[in-house]
Amino acid sequence: MKKYILKRVGMSVVTLLVIVLVLFVLMQLLPGSPFNDERLSIEQQQVLMSKYGLNDSAPVQFFRYVRNMLTGDFGKSYTISKDTDVALLLQNRLPTSLLLGGLSILLGSVAGLFLGVAAALKHNSLLDSAATFFSVIGVSIPSYVFALGLSYFFGFQLSWLPMLYNADDGLRAFALPAVALSMTVMATVARFTRTEMIEVLNSDYMQLVESKGVSGVHLIFKHALRNASISIITILGPLVVSLMTGSLVVEKIFSIPGIGQLMVQAIQSNDYNVILALAFVYSALYIFVMLAVDILYGVLDPRIRLAKEDAHG
């Protein structure tokens, strides 16, 4: 297992480097420059280009970037927050996105699991239909519709919760956006949980476990849900990444200082270093979550664990 994890980590690092390289090439192909404002003369543009080392050849820039990146230096922002370290920008914005994403995943998975388990146990009942209805709505209606609705009713009409993000409000500021974002998670998790649970509950080994006298919560959580969880985790992985790295529209509606909005702005204004850093963070998170999912498989399912140990020694 250890060797397997090490190997996977090594592969992840290589993947990340390749991603940075690809991004770097793409960035070279982007039309325009960060410094083509009306008020900058050609000479001034040259001064700025050389100040940031953008006149050097692409390979030189690339290796310098990677070298600095390893020390945590992601360069400076050219336009969004002039001359500010990109690391500082991320340091301020990333935690907000991660917290919001984390909260919505937590909320969505708990609610989704409950709905899914309930629907599976009460297969073909009214409750099942209601849960299915809920998840179809949750999957098909985009989160910004929920965001607008929640913000209008709970923020504007009832004034229960803040309509707009303000760090002073603490967790309360996250309430509405987290609920809005959790709807998709809830619906997706509920759907998969239901399908998997129905399958697992009808399997032979469940009947065996039952006949051995295992019952109640123990039966559901230890035996049924554990077997069903493999596929739930598989779909949850990418969801976690996409939610943690920010939802552009929901961030905009609630004015949340996350990284989703930052990415769009960076692309529009050719703020190369911000684009690179964000894409890097996104990829790194993705790879990390995928790795975590793989490890979790092993933890949850001894068969996978054993197979891997066999395969990788």
Partner 1 sequence: MKNLSKKSLWLSGAASLLLLSACDTEATDEVDESVEAEAPAETDEQVLNVQLNVEVASMDPQIATDGTSFEVIANTIEGLYQTDSDGQAVPALVESAEKGEDGLSYTFKLREDATWSNGEPVTAHDFVYAWRRLADPDTGSEYSYIMGIAGLVNANEVLAGEKAPEELGVQASDDYTLDVQLANPVPYFESLMSFIPFFPLNEDFMTEVGDSYGTSPETLLANGAYEVSSYEPAATTIELDKNEEYYDADNVVLDGVDYQVIKDSQQAMLSYQNGDLDLVTLAGEQVDLFKDDPEFVNVQAGYLWYISPNTLVEGLENANLRKALATSFDKQQITDTILKDGSVPADYIIPDGLAVGPDGKDFRETSDTYLEYDPEGAKESLEAAKSELGQDSFTFGLLVEDTESAINVAQVLKSQIESNLDGVTIEIEQMPKKTRLERMKQADYDLGLTRWGPDYADPMTYADLWVTDGNNNDGAWSNADYDELVYSSIDGELSLDDEARWEALKEAESILLNDAGVLPVYQKGNAVMVQDNVSGIDFHAVGLPRVYKFAVKE
Q: Binding to partner 1 (CB under 8 A): which residues in 215-244?
A: 215-217, 219-221
Q: Could you say whether residue 132 binds partner 1 (CB under 8 A)?
A: no
Q: Read off the amino acid at residue 34.
A: P
Q: Could you say whether residue 139 binds partner 1 (CB under 8 A)?
A: no
Say how far apart CA 37 and CA 28 lie, in whole Å. Answer: 19
Token digits of residue 226: 């554990």
Q: Could you say whether residue 15 binds partner 1 (CB under 8 A)?
A: no
Q: Could you say whether residue 140 binds partner 1 (CB under 8 A)?
A: no
Per-residue burial over 212-244, b = 16 or more CB atoms within 10 Å of its CB, e = otherwise: eeeeeeebbeebbbebbbbebbeebbebbbbbb
Q: Could you say whether residue 89 binds partner 1 (CB under 8 A)?
A: yes
Burial of 127 (0-12, 13-18, 19+ CB in 10 A): middle
Instruction: Give the shortest CB-46-to-partner 1 separation in angstroms.
Output: 10
Q: Which stretch binds partner 1 (CB under 8 A): 64-72, 151-159, 229-237, 277-285?
A: 151-159
19 vs 274 by CB, closer to partner 1: 274
Q: How many C-beta neighbours within 10 Å does residue 305 have?
A: 16
Of 19-78, binders to partner 1 (CB under 8 A) are 31-34, 36-44, 47-48, 51, 77
The most distant pair of C-alpha atoms in the chain lies apart, rounded to whole Å, by 83
Q: Could you say whether residue 124 binds partner 1 (CB under 8 A)?
A: no
Q: Show the site string, 264-293: x = touches partner 1 by CB under 8 A, - = not.
A: ----xxx-----------------------
Give how far Cα 276 sits from Cα of 65, 138, 142, 296, Å.
10, 33, 28, 30
Q: Which stretch binds partner 1 (CB under 8 A): 7-15, 84-92, 230-238, 302-310?
A: 84-92
φ, ψ for residue 53, nearest 5 deg: 70, 25
Instruction: Give the shortest CB-81-to-partner 1 separation in angstroms.
Output: 4
**H or E element at residue 141:** none
Answer whether 273's CB lies under 8 Å from 85's CB. Answer: no
Q: Read off the amino acid at residue 59.
A: P
Among the listed residues 83, 212, 311, 313, the single contact to partner 1 using CB under 8 A? 83
5 vs 267 by CB, closer to partner 1: 267
Q: Which stretch binds partner 1 (CB under 8 A): 7-15, 162-170, 239-247, 302-310?
A: 162-170
Among the listed residues 166, 208, 299, 306, the single contact to partner 1 using CB under 8 A? 166
